[in-house]
Amino acid sequence: MKNLKPMNIFFLLLMPVLAYGLYVIAVLTFGTLNDYQPEEKIDIAGENETDKLASDSAILSLMTWNIGYGGLGAQSDFFLDGGMMVRPSKDISEAYKAGILNTIAAHEEVDFLLLQEVDVRSKRSYFVNQFLSIGEVLPNFTRAHALNFNVKFVPKPFLSFAPIGKVQSGLATYSRFNVSTNTRYQFPGSYGWPTKAFHLDRCFLESRVSLPNGRELIIINSHNSAYDGGKLKPQEMEYLKAHLLAEYAKGNYVVVGADWNQCPPNFDYDSFSKGNSEDYYQDNIEESFMPEGWQWAYDGTVATNRKLNKTYKEGTTFTTLIDFFLLSPNLSLLEVEGVSLNFKYSDHQPVKIKIQLQ
């Protein structure tokens, strides 16, 4: 170094800065050029043919579960929530996947299974097609998948040597009864550039089941925004509300199962944490959001979501309830049950309901 001129030393020191700058420009350019921009309404091809729903007064069971792409079980934390992990080891990922499949098999009596964060080809889940793997557990169900996270390269964490990378993930609905149409509806609102090029494109997946009386059972699988600073969820909720009311006005039966990323109306989300909220804030859906007669179905005794700043520790980790159902007035709620798994396989827990068409 002693024989180098000051100008040469300056350029040697500047090279890493220039290289990093070129990397940032390349990533932003690549992400922008490959930004997934779905249309508002997309027909989704279903797979498998099953029997038609034969009764206008059937008793039906449904389960909703955000499976956390098989990467967010009890042994995991997550960097976006204050943890360190980007993805678990392959052995842990496979153990989570096995637990998810076994749990679904143990509840195969349900008529409709609504799942969120189901990967089809993602680095974070070692490129396992979880949608098809779950379909193998439920061979007599129709199935449909709607992408809501479709990014060829997610650079976060930005200075990491092992970023998230490629993600293809979304909503998956499995039905014991024949579905006439499956449709992906894009929610309004988006992040500004460049975040939008690397973020989720939130949507809901609608599955329509024909009934003998000429009406339809509308099953909606949704996953509302997180990390949005309260800017996107209000737009999503108003868009969803208009859709639900329009379908109910036609005389149809409507069920929404979702990871709402907010609590039910008037629910005390701090009740699970016993004051150990770690300054974590959770929105509640407004009590007046839906007209009288619509029902929020949840089990207030079982938490459905836990914070990912650390690995899970029962009694210490902050937990809340953001996964539940919404039912139209022409449906009777017979049972609702939160399924406690101690967050072993996902940062969410399943919720089951039993309903009857009136």
Residue 166 has which token pair?
A: 């490629």
Residues 229 and 160 in one domain: yes
Residues 179 and 250 in one domain: yes
Residues 261 and 130 in one domain: yes
CB atoms within 10 A of CB 239: 18
Does the N-terminal peptide bond of residue 194 adopt cis geometry, omega within 30 degrees of 0?
yes
Q: Quote the number of domains for the chain.
A: 2
Residues 3 and 130 in one domain: no
Residues 68 and 167 in one domain: yes
Question: In whole angstroms, how far apart are CA 105 and each of 50, 84, 100, 135, 314?
Answer: 18, 32, 9, 11, 25
Cα–Cα dist 149/152, whole Å: 10
Q: Which of 125, 94, 62 is nearest to 331 (CA)?
A: 62
Domain that holds residue 265: 38-357
Dihedral angle sign, alpha carbons of residues 333, 114, 212, 186: positive
pTM of the full structure:
0.93
Residues 238 and 110 in one domain: yes
Does the N-terminal peptide bond of residue 234 adopt cis geometry, omega within 30 degrees of 0?
no
Give the per-residue pLDDT at 15: 78
Cα–Cα dist 253/358, whole Å: 9
Give the per-residue pLDDT at 227: 80
3-class DSSP state of 139: coil
For β-strands 181-186 and 165-175, DSSP reports them as unpaired
- CATH assignment at residue 302: 3.60.10.10
Give the per-residue pLDDT at 151: 96
Residues 6 and 55 in one domain: no
Asked whether the beta carbons of 337 and 299 are under 8 A apart, the reply is: yes
| DSSP track, 37-105 | ---SEEEE--B---PPP--TT-EEEEEEEE-GGG--STT---GGGT---SS--HHHHHHHHHHHHHHHH
Q: Which of 62, 47, 35, 64 is nearest to 222 (CA)?
A: 64
Residues 167 and 221 in one domain: yes
Cα–Cα dist 347/332, whole Å: 30
Give the per-residue pLDDT at 2: 56
Residues 22 and 54 in one domain: no
Per-residue pLDDT of the chain (358 residues; tens, 9 = 90+): 556 566 666 667 777 778 778 878 888 888 899 889 999 999 998 887 788 887 778 899 999 999 999 999 999 999 988 899 999 999 999 999 999 999 999 999 999 999 999 999 999 999 999 999 999 999 999 999 999 999 999 998 877 778 999 999 999 999 999 999 999 999 998 888 888 898 899 999 999 999 999 999 999 999 999 888 778 999 999 999 999 999 999 999 999 999 999 999 999 877 776 656 666 778 899 999 999 999 999 999 999 999 999 999 998 899 999 999 999 999 999 999 999 999 999 999 999 999 999 8
Residues 59 and 3 in one domain: no
